[in-house]
């Protein structure tokens, strides 16, 4: 009968209504929350469990336990492999400590200075940071820069009176190319991120290049790790800032405000 038929919903219409309802459910607040983007892995602390890293972290723990650290170096193999003689000539008497670990990426250094506790109980007046080259082949520049920015913020949170010298990633690869371009793009982003009052951003990459933009083997035999002459380039750049670091140390000792 006509009166009753007005209340009958055709099967096709019912299926459509159910589909529309299911689509609406996708816009529920809970659904939005579950679809949030995960943070870049470069910004998430990650522990390395390989024997090389474990052994090196043991050495770092021993140095940290000894205390009395004025200059603290954080980084990867480029930091760990400082030439011993250049290190002695440059930092003897300055209570410098090398916390570099071969193969570290930003996420690994983040783990060391957060869950690994490598900054706990320390009060250096200057922290030198160089990290990121091991991320270049696998992570986009924006993610690497975000990881470096987070490292800097954690260092400042844990060592609020320390002066942070953040070095741009050194050039790598003998000749200009895509890898070098990714480094340049990352450094450009880091320069923007590093505009914090407690950070001094230093880019000395040009000092490792010749007039044609190539890396001389005399400075980096493998186009990645500096030779003694290459470490002298880095030491000279640091020497230009040592006077300011000494002033910073005196202000720190006297309890004066840190600009």
* CA atoms of 141 and 179, how far apart (whole Å): 11
Q: Is 225 one of the catalytic residues?
A: yes
Catalytic entry in 50, 188, 192, 222: 222
Catalytic entry in 77, 123, 161, 227: 77
Neighbours of 11 (CB within 10 A): 8
Give the residue among 142, 202, 208 at the shortest CA–CA distance from 171: 208
Q: What is the DSSP letter of 38?
A: P
Q: Is 83 one of the catalytic residues?
A: no
Q: CA separation (Å) from 58 to 11, 14, 212, 229?
A: 70, 67, 42, 29
Catalytic entry in 139, 225, 245, 248: 225
Residue-by-residue DSSP string for 205-218: GGGG--TTSPPPTT
Q: What is the DSSP letter of 183?
A: H
Counting Cβ atoms within 10 Å, is residue 146 exposed (0-12), middle (13-18) or buried (19+)? buried
Strand pairing category for 163-167 and 71-75:
unpaired
Q: How far is CA 186 from the centre of its chain?
A: 11
Catalytic residues: 77, 222, 225
């Amino acid at each position: 009968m006509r009166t009753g038929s007005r209340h009958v919903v055709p099967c096709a219409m019912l299926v459509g209504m159910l589909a529309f309802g299911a689509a609406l459910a996708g816009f529920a607040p809970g659904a939005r929350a579950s679809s949030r983007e995960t943070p870049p892995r470069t910004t998430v602390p990650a522990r390395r469990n390989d024997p090389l890293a474990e052994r090196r972290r043991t050495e770092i723990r021993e140095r940290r336990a000894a205390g009395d650290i004025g200059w603290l170096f954080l980084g990867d193999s480029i930091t760990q492999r400082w030439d011993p003689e250049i290190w002695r000539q440059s930092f003897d008497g300055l209570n410098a400590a090398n916390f570099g670990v071969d193969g570290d990426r930003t996420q690994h250094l983040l783990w060391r200075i957060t869950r690994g506790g490598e900054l706990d109980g320390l009060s250096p007046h200057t922290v030198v940071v160089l990290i990121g080259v091991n991320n270049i082949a696998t992570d986009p520049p924006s993610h690497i820069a975000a990881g470096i920015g987070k490292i800097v913020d954690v260092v400042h949170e844990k060592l609020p009176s320390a002066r942070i010298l953040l070095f741009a990633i050194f050039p790598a690869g003998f000749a200009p190319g895509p890898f070098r371009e990714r480094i340049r793009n990352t450094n450009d982003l880091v320069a923007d991120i590093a505009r914090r009052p407690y950070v001094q951003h230093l880019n000395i990459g040009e000092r490792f290049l010749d007039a044609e933009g190539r890396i001389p083997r005399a400075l980096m035999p493998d186009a990645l790790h500096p030779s003694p002459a290459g470490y002298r380039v880095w030491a000279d750049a640091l020497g230009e800032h040592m006077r300011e670091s000494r002033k910073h140390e005196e202000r720190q000792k006297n309890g004066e405000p840190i600009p």
